[in-house]
Structure 1
């Protein structure tokens, strides 16, 4: 099973939502924790439907700041335990008490002066040691100077307080695969800074329960934070294929070559036709468009993967001189994601017209700012 945590820096940009959709397609997470959504419940429910998830728990943004959301597949078995503006805590798994464990999606205070409140929250909600507990999210703090490059040195007292919070609560860093830094300010001058702010930590009981885990720091394509993927060993689940009918995609009109495909078929079959031959010409045209579209989608997917790999290479050696290249690649990826988003918007509108609001899930839960506890 895969779990994804990401400080997305707002879901108002279609590129960001499309980037999230691509992550879901590529990594197949069963649970997603989103930080700084800057969105209301209605927006998050639209994202849930876009991703095809059944469950969604929302702590709405306060104005244009903050906002948390947890999305999950129904098969996982999720029960919301408690929440605040800075966390969402859920029981994971089905079956008896011994089979379940506690997942804590966490967002550390971005203001240094208030960081102690975050560690107090961890201590206050720390479960008994026999309960398997994992904390995943953006802690907004580092444990040592080795987790920071550039900028002013971090306060030793602040780092020490974070290390102490982990120690007191019996939490151990789960390590990482990929780039060692999960946030970068993208400055191209001497103020260039990057840090490891996002991570996964867990207590001894959880580590004993899941002794095969990998934390992958993914490439940041649309946010200044890298998504963090927690992988737990699990068997593959089969998927069923559906027969697809031909439907013209609005995004085709934005791609070079679409007109030539239609014109080519029509030149060959479309002049002076009977109604029967006209129908055959339309069928031939739709078939040509589908084949061309599949080829283009493969090219787009390949382009996104190649540019993501180039981004990863630049991030791994990242210096101020690379920032211009990083921004250019992110813009190119953004344009490709926008084209994909046009396709999704058309399909979403079509599905809504056909199904109305039947895609609304009864397991969607909405909470406003503040905190509480659920059993």
Structure 2
């Protein structure tokens, strides 16, 4: 489970929307908090469980220094609620120490102390970070710049004990002066393991797939009868993996490439009056979409998947959930200690 917080500085910018979509697809956060969306409507959902209940606050600090005390008082008000594990993340528009800023004038000691005071009153601990130190930057035409760490993740001690391996990652972006922060609750790196061989049903759409299988199966290694079959199966898998990389191709990569070529071909067709390349690419994309649909349907492990819409988000989410369910990140031993390996 993970949370993403980002001061995106407006969702009316197409580049921001595109970059947000890319971050969400890449990091797959369970919760997303956006500040300064500049949209007309906002919605706050309060989710609570039973024994596993904990609080999440997406925070945006007052940009005006004179009004910042109002933001700190809001945190104090939230702190008066019934005690439960509490995670607070977002753009606080303030630093804790002078070394969290480079360039520009020194921050007022009293201004930072007000921030430190409210952190102490709420019992917050800074979760630290992985990646570049600063989350906000402003660059001026005279060549000077200011960098500050304004975005962070804070948690109470009982939240930290609940998720002791949590990590805050500073991500990169180009469409906002604030960097997104991603809180990964487990904090455990996925163990590197050899990817098991799986036969892809979409390979059957290519006639050369059968030739690869036959060639591997008719090849003899001179081993004993029992071992001979295992050797053929292993060789068949290796040959199919090579064939997939070098002949069949990565479906998603090829589909993206074909779509880019189609955009270019359509511009050329408008000027030349010849749409042959456009029609050719559209037919190629249609074939690739069918292959992609078969790939996700197979991964979803649904017997009725072949009746569904092509490449729906449902098939994609089923495959993603299955991957999460099958992943064992750690095991707790008899003494209650979590073991990674």
Work out whether the TM-score is over 0.5. yes
Query: In the alignment, which of 126, 129, 133 is matched to residue 176 of structure 1?
Result: 129
Say what the alpha-carbon RMSD is for the aligned residues: 3.7
Question: Does the aligned pair in 1 maintain the 2:165–2:187 contact within 8 Å?
Answer: no
- For 1:106 and 1:22, how far apart are their aligned partners in 2? 23
Partner residue in 1 for 2:40: 40
Query: In the alignment, which of 62, 87, 91 is matched to residue 47 of structure 2?
Result: 91
Query: In the alignment, which of 89, 104, 113 is matched to residue 66 of structure 2?
Result: 113
Deviation at 1:161, TM superposition (A): 1.0
Question: Does the aligned pair in 2 maintain the 1:130–1:205 contact within 8 Å?
Answer: no
Deviation at 1:4, TM superposition (A): 0.6
Q: What SS does structure 1 have at the residue aligned with 2:4?
A: strand
Partner residue in 2 for 1:139: 92
Question: Does the aligned pair in 2 maintain the 1:258–1:289 contact within 8 Å?
Answer: no
- For 1:288 and 1:201, how far apart are their aligned partners in 2? 50
Partner residue in 1 for 2:174: 221
Deviation at 1:137, TM superposition (A): 0.6
Superposition pairs of residues 298-313 of structure 1, within 5 angstroms: none
How many aligned positions are there? 224
Partner residue in 1 for 2:152: 199
Question: Does the aligned pair in 2 maintain the 1:183–1:224 contact within 8 Å?
Answer: yes
Deviation at 1:213, TM superposition (A): 0.6
Deviation at 1:190, TM superposition (A): 5.7
Question: Does the aligned pair in 1 maintain the 2:3–2:184 contact within 8 Å?
Answer: yes
Query: In the alignment, which of 110, 115, 125 is matched to residue 157 of structure 1?
Result: 110
Shift in CA distance, 13/100, structure 1 to aligned 2, threshold 3 Å: same
1:230 equivalent in alignment to 2:226? no
Question: Does the aligned pair in 1 maintain the 2:166–2:187 contact within 8 Å?
Answer: no
Gaps of 5+ in 1: 42-57, 60-69, 71-79, 81-89, 268-280, 294-350, 352-375
Give the alignment's TM-score, normalised by structure 2. Answer: 0.58
Partner residue in 2 for 1:327: none
- For 1:265 and 1:37, how far apart are their aligned partners in 2? 41
Q: What SS does structure 2 have at the residue aligned with 1:91?
A: coil
Question: Does the aligned pair in 1 maintain the 2:87–2:156 contact within 8 Å?
Answer: yes
Deviation at 1:118, TM superposition (A): 1.1
Deviation at 1:233, TM superposition (A): 2.1
Partner residue in 2 for 1:316: none
Partner residue in 1 for 2:17: 17
Partner residue in 2 for 1:255: 264
Superposition pairs of residues 53-132 of structure 1, within 5 angstroms: 58=42, 80=45, 90-92=46-48, 94=49, 96=50, 98-127=51-80, 130-132=83-85
Deviation per residue, 1:101-156 (Å, 9 max, x gap): 10011111100111111111111111567410010110000000100000000001
Partner residue in 2 for 1:288: 284
Q: Comparing both structures, which one devotes a greater share of its residues to strand?
A: 1
Partner residue in 1 for 2:315: none
- For 2:80 and 2:3, how far apart are their aligned partners in 1? 21
- For 2:79 and 2:126, how far apart are their aligned partners in 1? 16
Question: Does the aligned pair in 1 maintain the 2:85–2:156 contact within 8 Å?
Answer: yes
- For 1:218 and 1:234, how far apart are their aligned partners in 2? 15
Shift in CA distance, 206/129, structure 1 to aligned 2, threshold 3 Å: farther
- For 1:234 and 1:101, how far apart are their aligned partners in 2? 18
Question: Does the aligned pair in 2 maintain the 1:7–1:226 contact within 8 Å?
Answer: yes
Partner residue in 2 for 1:51: none
Deviation at 1:2, TM superposition (A): 1.4
Q: What SS does structure 2 have at the residue aligned with 1:5?
A: strand
- For 1:252 and 1:136, how far apart are their aligned partners in 2? 41
